[in-house]
Structure 1
Amino acid sequence: MNEKASLRARAEIDLAALRANVRELRARAGGAQLMAVVKSDAYGHGAEPCARAALEAGATWLGTATPQEALALREAGLGGRVMCWLWTPGGPWREAIEADIDVSVSGLWALREVVTAAGEAGRTARVHLKADTGLGRNGCQPADWPELVAEARAAEETGAVTVTGLWSHFACADEPGHPSIAAQLSVFRDMVAYAEKAGVEPEVRHIANSPATLTVPESHFDLVRTGIALYGISPSPELGTPADFGLRPVMTLSASVALVKQVPAGHGISYGHHYTTPSETTLALVPLGYADGIPRHASGRGPVLVAGRVRTVAGRVAMDQFVVDLEGDRTEPGAEAVLFGPGDRGEPTAEDWAVAADTIAYEIVTRIGTRVPRVHVGA
């Protein structure tokens, strides 16, 4: 039995495609450095192998949300610059400083914890000050920026920290022309100028995420942070497919058909009988469910390539499995059912599943659970 058939399901990760995506994004970034964002286990693709592939292709920074994610990269032997940005009080500041990780600071409480941890470590902490230019999430408000900058400069004078970055995050960069983009850029420039006038000399200024990297060149500054685009998914489907941006989807999710059977007309399928067979037909059981990250709210809508045609999930997605109606076609147990991939074979894409589940493709790939092995190819 071949490897694919021997696995209940697999998420095949094409590292050659990821490297090609990095090279394309670097070209689009102009002279800016590129940060490969590998948070949430590289958006479900496997952080360590994806980080290695990104560095091989020319990324100079790695980005994570949590310090634990950043520390795991160091423990795996990943070099280069690593930045993490989602901190809570009492976080592992000292461990991050000792692991040579750049940390983000959005408020005085965080800066003070960094200074204390730097003293304990006997090392200078590398800090990026984050400005809230309009996203309204993390980051320092413009009214509080002078106080944060002043205290950061005082900490620099003592040798406790060095401010290596000034940064922010767009709210609507996936909607080119949205008035908030220009407004946020203006606020960011003002906040950067204030900090630099106060004596901050950052290595990198950065605000561009994946959509801004692709569509807002004036936002590139010294560094772009690419997340979803790295994995070959369009951050703005309304503007273009991955191919339109020179990108290729990296993940292909498939399963081995567990059962094929004939049923009569009027046969109810799965919980609640939301689907009833209109005539005598053939059913195929696909052993993936919402415990594996398949959206239950794509019940009756999720597309799957089975037996040479794209079918639709029949009835409810259950915890571990769902059914497709083959409409009389035949296949065998062990045959491949492809939920999404690049689309080369006519299979659905992650974006197709996003439409079916009324969400975004980011969520589709990121939510694929740990029961599904990641099989990395193209290393």
Structure 2
Amino acid sequence: MSWTSELVVDDEAIRSNAAYFAAATGGRLMAVLKADAFGHGSIAHSVLAAGATSIGVTSIEEALVVRAAGVRVPILSWLNPVDADLAAAVVADIDLAVQSVRLLHAVGRAAAALGRRARVHLHIDVGMARDGAPASDWSALCGVARELEVLGSVRVVGVMGHMSCADRPDHPQNARERLVFANALRTAQRRGLAPSVAHLAATAATVTGVGSGFGLHRIGAGLFGIDPSGTSDRLRPALSLTTTVVGSREVAAGTGIGYGLEHVADRRTNLALLPVGYGDGLPRAASERAEVQVRGRRRPVVGRFSMDMLVVDTGDDLLTAGETVTVFGPGDHGEPTVAEWAGWSGTIEHEIVTRIGSRVARIHRSTVTAAAAGTAAADGTPAACIGEAAGA
């Protein structure tokens, strides 16, 4: 396949971010690798080498991919239906989050049939009304978990929750949710459980500190340079999206551009055609707002986004086919950043990086020095990577 666009993954930036969080959490770092590791592909071994001690994922299928890649540390999968392949998870020594008595029984049955003991993390909803057991069901869930421990089919190794407003450290909900989680831990202990780990904080709660004091920290977005709270300047963006010019033309003032001809050139200008669009994950909502960088200058994307194409107004520069255009990057050289694309699209950085589609090649590189940003040594092949994991 001939690739015209590349998502370059800076593995050194990822390792740097992982090392920062490993130090900040006292080595209690669970690396959350969701949605193809937030669009970054196969990075489990990199984050483990940088200090992560476990991996977090969403589904069992994703967990099995990580395990098959030779990862031997604990892997937690926390979002599975009752009819998921629980037996495969038990055989592969995958930890399972459990938020209901029904799922807990299903896990116990699968483990008992194999003559094994399943490792589970009981999941409490501390206030988001999303995943996790409602507080009203928590005591019963703990009681059943203890019964299954006595029977030998389950071992409760963890208790987990997820905060709803951690990106706003002054929000009063944070204190309420910490109390709910602390009470959940006490209830588990009163029911005879002795979990070895507790984890409430994801990236935002770790950066702001509102989720500290409960053991493991689940870091996903932060590994890739995204700070949901916007309060840290310690993280390094790890993605750069580039594409190539496939055509260019000069147009007269008054020329309409794109579907609906909503953009009209106000002067004689040059247009460049790029082979990326919303089919590759660039939000159509960014139409008439987004910019790209070419020949060291930012240029506006004009007209509505198409599924496969963007048009860029390059002013007096008539580009040639094959020239490289930077859609987004770390911003070190004035290129648009993922944060800017999120602003232009009315969304969050997470969505921008995880939307990038399979037509875009993933290439892993490590920057040599900060001064030589943009000069990299390739250590991967240009292939659309299969996602390793998913998580909170």
Give me the whole-angstrom Cα distance separating, in 2, the residues matched to 1:77 and 1:210.
26
Deviation at 1:197, TM superposition (A): 2.0
Which amino acid counterpart does residue 329 of structure 1 have in structure 2?
D
Secondary structure of the residue that 2:52 maps to in structure 1?
Answer: coil
The residue number in structure 2 matching 1:36 is 31
Checking the alignment, whether the CA contact within 8 Å between 1:66 and 1:85 is kept in structure 2 is: yes
Asked whether the equivalents of residues 299 and 316 of structure 1 are also in contact (C-alpha less than 8 Å), the reply is yes
Deviation track 1:237-263 (CA, whole Å, cap 9, x = no partner) reads: 3x34xxx1x110111001011112111
> Is 1:288 paired with 2:284?
no
Query: What CA distance in whole angstroms lies between the structure 1 residues aligned with 2:213 and 2:115?
Result: 34
Alpha-carbon offset, residue 76 of structure 1: 2.1
Which letter does structure 2 place at the counterpart of 1:68? E
Does 2:222 align with 1:226? Answer: no
Q: Is the 8 A contact 1:12 1:251 kept in 2?
A: yes
How many Å separate the matches in 2 of 1:16 and 1:122? 43
Cα distance in 1, alignment partners of residues 316 and 112 from structure 2:
71
> Once the two structures are superposed, what CA deviation does each residue of 1:9-55 show, in whole Å capped at 9, x if it has no partner?
000001111000001111222x3510110111101111xx2111111
Contact 1:28 1:214 in 2 (8 A): no
Q: Quick one: distance in 1 between partners of 2:115 and 2:189?
A: 27
Kindly indicate whether the alpha-carbon contact (under 8 Å) linking 1:285 and 1:324 is maintained by their aligned counterparts in 2: yes
Q: CA deviation at 1:217?
A: 5.6
CA distance, structure 2, for counterparts of residue 26 and residue 127 of structure 1: 24
The answer on 1:8 being equivalent to 2:4 is yes
TM-superposed deviation, 1:236: 1.7
Q: Percent identity?
A: 43
User: Within the alignment, does 1:362 sit opposite 2:358 as a pair?
Assistant: no
Which amino acid letter does the alignment assign opposite residue 69 of structure 1? E
Deviation string for 1:250-309 (max 9, x for gaps)?
110010111121111111111111111111111111110111001111111112112221
Residues 190-215 of structure 1: per-residue CA shift (max 9 Å, x gap): 11011012211111100000011111
Q: What is residue 126 of structure 1 aligned with on the other side?
A: 119
How far the C-alpha of 1:220 sits from its partner, in A, is 4.0
Deviations 1:307-331 (A, max 9, x none): 2211221001101011010112233
Alignment check: 8 A CA contact 2:111 2:154 kept: yes
Counterpart of 1:39, as a letter, is K
More helix by share: 1
1:375 aligns with 2:376: no
Q: In the aligned structure 1, how far is the partner of 2:213 from the partner of 2:235?
A: 19
Q: Work out whether 1:183 is the aligned partner of 2:176.
A: yes
For 1:221 and 1:15, locate their aligned partners in 2 and report how far apart those are by CA, in whole Å: 29
* Secondary structure at the counterpart of residue 330 of structure 1: coil
Question: Is it true that 1:60 corresponds to 2:53 in the alignment?
Answer: yes
Q: Are 1:319 and 2:319 matched, yes or no? A: no
Higher relative contact order (CA 8 A, sep 6+): 2
Is 1:265 equivalent to 2:253 in the alignment? yes
State how 1:144-223 maps to structure 2 within 5 Å: 144-216=137-209, 219-223=212-216
SS in 1 for 2:201: coil
Q: Distance in 1 between matches of 2:244 and 2:57?
A: 33
The alignment of Structure 1 onto Structure 2 pairs a total of residues equal to 366
Q: TM-score, normalised by structure 2?
A: 0.91
**Runs of 5+ unmatched residues, structure 1:** 1-5
Select the residue among 20, 27, 51 that pairs with 1:24.
20
1:118/1:160 contact within 8 Å kept: yes
Compute the displacement of 1:72 (Å). 1.1
SS in 1 for 2:364: strand
1:94 aligns with 2:90: no
What is the rounded CA distance, in whole Å, between the counterparts of 2:316 and 2:93 in structure 1?
60
SS of the equivalent of 2:140 reads: helix
Residue 73 (str. 1) matches residue 91 (str. 2): no
2:341 is aligned with 1:348: no
Of 106-115 and 306-315, more deviation after overlay is shown by 306-315
Q: 2: distance between equivalents of 1:25 and 1:220?
A: 15
* 8 Å Cα contact 2:226/2:237 also seen in 1: yes
Normalized against structure 1, the TM-score is what? 0.94
Residue equivalent to 1:3: none
Q: Distance in 1 between matches of 2:250 and 2:221?
A: 41
Residue 273 (structure 2) pairs with residue 277 (structure 1): no
